[in-house]
Chain A
Amino acid sequence: MSFFNIQALAYLDCGPINLQIEASEIIGLNGSSGSGKSRLLRSLADLDEHTGNVSLQSVDQHSTKAHIWRSKVALLSAETYWWLDTVDAHFKNYPIEQAAELGFVSDVSAWQVSRLSSGEKQRLGLLRLLENNPDVLLLDEPTANLDPENAQLFEDFVTNYIYKRSACAIWVSHDVEQLKRISQRQYKMQNGQLVSEVKGN
Chain B
Amino acid sequence: MSRIENIISELSSISTNPKKAMEDYKKETGKGSVGVMPYYAPEEIIHAAGFLPVGIWGGQTAITKARAYLPPFACSIMQSVMEMQLEGVYDDLEAVLFPVPCDTLKCLSQKWKGTSPVIVFTHPQNRKLEAANKFLAEEYRLVREKLEKVLNVQITDEALNKSIEIYNENRKVMREFIDIAAKYPNIIDPIKRHAIIKARYFMEKSKHTAMVKELNSELASSPVEAFTGKKVVLTGIMAEPNEVLEILKENGFAVVADDLAQESRQFRNDVPLGTDPLYRLAKWWQEFDGCSLATDAKKSRGPMLIDMVKASKADAVVVCMMKFCDPEEFDYPIYYRQFEEAGIKSLFIEIDLETTSFEQTKTRVQSFSEML
Partners in one complex: no
Which residues does B use to contact A, with CB under 8 Å?
Answer: none
Question: A: which residues have CB within 8 A of B?
Answer: none
